[in-house]
A and B are shown apart, each in its own frame.
Chain A
Amino acid sequence: MSLLDEDFIHPTDKALTEKILQIKPLADWLENASELDEVCAYFYSASLPQIVEETLIEMMKRACRSFEVPATVLYRTRTFEYDVLCAGFNNPVIILPAVLLDRNDCDILQGRLYSAAAAIAAQHPKFEFLLWAFENIQGLPVINSAAKAVLYEWKRAKVYTLDRAFFLATGDLELTLKNIFYGIVPFEWLKNFHFNSDDNTFLEQLERYFRNENPAQILGKVCGFFMDYAWLPTRYDEIKKFSEQRRAMQ
């Protein structure tokens, strides 16, 4: 079943992407950077071991079919983070962290592969490469602070799209909410959260976060503006709203 027509791209992601394409140096760069596919394909195939296990390849192909993107190559990397990465330009590859594979949590892994396929469909790898290039390489056309702010805001907002894709593909809200905290909260705590039930211990913390009752919470919110990933409470809130919208539509 194709999820491409479903509303998986978050409105903020969509709006910021359009904004980026209106910034001339960035739009020009995106149009002229097609050789990067060759560079990225060489870079990752020369550095990371390819995953050849049939099960994982089938999971990836299933995810790619759902978002109507071509099946790609899977690589494995040794990092301490649990994020699944998409890297490349027009034909990105998917990189799975060894720590995630070692846990052998198939539901989470399949869900994250769906998110990766959605990222490819939403052209996230291109914009991530763009951000990396303008962050690291001096000598590219100069962009002003406002343009940089748009890029960083997009980087924070893109995960909302990934969360939506996870939810749409799995149909499991509790799993989607668990995925947000997976690899961030210690695993022995995570199993006690019970997200989609009356016994949701995180709910209280979430409400305190939005109430801004004390300096620590305010500071947390302010810090969220300076991070390059969306703050967990906002991700939680966004996906809850999305699931309620979907339920209302049905």
Chain B
Amino acid sequence: MKIPFEKIYELDLIHPLERDAEREFKENDLYNMLAADNADLINSWQSRPEAMLYLFPVTERTAPRLNALYEIALKRLRCNIRYPLFLKQEFEIRAMVDGTDPDYTIVLSGLGELSDSEILALIGQALGRIKAEHAQTLRLLETAESGSEMIPIVGSLAGKKLWSSFARWLTAAQFTIDRAALFACGSEKVVASLILKQNGLSEFELAQILKQPVCKAKHLGIYFVFLMQSMPSFGGIERIQELHRWTHSEQFRENYPGFYYRLQLECDDCESDDSALTDLHRTAFSGDADTMIKLAEMYMRGEVLPKSKLMPCTLYKEASFLGNAKAMYILAAFLIRDKTDYKAEIQRLYCAAKSRGFKGARNKLLKCYAEDQTALVRKVCADFFEKYHNRTACKVYFDDADAQAVAVANAFWLDADDHIYSYEILFDADNHIYGTAISAKGVFGRTGEQELPFNLSWSNLRKDKVQLRRNTGELISGKTLIYVANGKLNGTVGEIVARIVAEL
């Protein structure tokens, strides 16, 4: 279920220093001359990975785990194109981008030492290069380096200025790809760990790296550019410090408040100025629905926390999934305000809030019931049916019966007095949990972790009244035996539901 305002924020990828440097060298006549002279070479550059025998293509079939990580990174960085991804057997940890827009290819190497999160960050670095369009400038730099008699150094102010802009751009471009890595993996610690590994510094403490003084230089030029090229692992210390500075800045807090506090919680050794707010977020993120609601209200008021539309929605949604009736009611109000087609979700939320005794939900629900229910039921069942046929064989089991009862009740928003006959929780093709439960009141289902549970009462599914025979534990409708408690009926719970749904 998409919540309102998810796409409201632009990803603040490109570092301001990179923008400044780029603006500066594009105003330089020497640059424009160099770019014009080499336009054909740069714009027609094509990578031919299929011609390289030592590159291993990454697809769902050849490398499913890595492919899944790639899909996650593409989604998080909002990339519309899936660029060909290859693996190279090399010791150095790198993500190389080749080709020109839109025909890029990405080659990863040195993955042996990396965790899944670090691989996500590495892919993020490559996608960052693509989104920030670094390829052309890097190629132009290569051309300039190999024939730099075209850019005179001694006696040419324009030449010195150009190399100085290039030097600053190269440094800032690394900051940009680190931001992309952060958005891809969601953790500052992971990005820092990746940078340390890429630079051969993995045994050093992050706290020491953050404290190290970095001597800034006013004048950078051609020597710096060539030094950087001779030492590809340049700048690891500064990159980690710059990323830390950004994630702890007021601007980051305003743009991505939830992310800001989640990173604060991750950073155990760091001192936070707003520790009370961090503690509040810690409590909320650990699953306390009441604290989620309190935080959501603070974000809506915008006094202590930055005013936000996305954060309250997200928090109310999380609290709803934990079974909080007030959160369900308020989230429904948000969905109404957003004016997109959330009718089914709104009805489910009010229904669930009402069953938990929330005042006001009953009247709202009556308004919803004025809508056509049949179409809604068909759609929900069709979604579930399709998902069920794509299921894997993995089921989730609970060791503790009480924990099981609580988990199932929360997952499907069952009422407290509802008796669960059976449930089945499964993994779908994307490894997300979904499932169904059968109770005396009807069929409860959920097509995904981020989707709201739906409830189909027996009257939605059967013309005949559905009854429970307490002595035999059988659930029957007319002459049809739907379910029997001792499990003699063939098929899983999901198959039973699918059978019922197919009769609609």
A→B interface (CB under 8 Å): 35-36, 38-43, 45-50, 52, 77-78, 132-133, 136-141
Contact = CB atoms under 8 A, between A and B. Distances in A.
A52 B146 CA distance: 39
Given A38-B218, A45-B213, A47-B199, A139 B223 contact: no
B235 A47 contact: yes
Interface majority SS on B: helix, strand, loop or mixed?
loop
Contacts of A137: 148, 222-223, 226
A78 B200 contact: yes
Interface string B194-215: 0000011100100011001111
A140 B154 CA distance: 8
A42 B223 contact: no
A141 B213 contact: no
Contact of B208 (A39, A52, A141): A52
Given A46-B236, A49-B201, A137-B223, 19 more contacts: A38-B215, A38-B219, A39-B227, A42-B217, A43-B228, A45-B214, A46-B214, A47-B199, A47-B238, A48-B237, A49-B209, A78-B200, A137-B222, A138-B145, A138-B146, A138-B149, A139-B152, A139-B222, A140-B153
A146 B276 CA distance: 71
A132 to B, nearest CB: 8
Contacts of A50: 212-213
Contacts of B224: 39, 42-43
B286 interface: no
Contacts of A45: 212-215, 237
Given A35-B219, A49-B209, A136-B226, A42 B214 contact: yes
A139 B201 contact: no
Interface of B: 145-149, 151-154, 199-201, 204, 208-209, 212-224, 226-228, 230-231, 233-238
9 contacts: A38-B217, A43-B234, A45-B214, A47-B235, A78-B200, A78-B201, A136-B226, A139-B153, A141-B154
User: Interface centre among A41, A47, A48, A138, by most B CB within 10 Å?
Assistant: A47
Contacts of B200: 77-78
A36 B223 CA distance: 8
A126 B503 CA distance: 86
B234 A138 contact: no
Contacts of B226: 133, 136-137
Contacts of B231: 43, 47
A39 B201 contact: no
User: Interface centre among B199, B201, B215, by most A CB within 10 Å?
Assistant: B215
B204 A42 contact: no
A46 B234 contact: yes
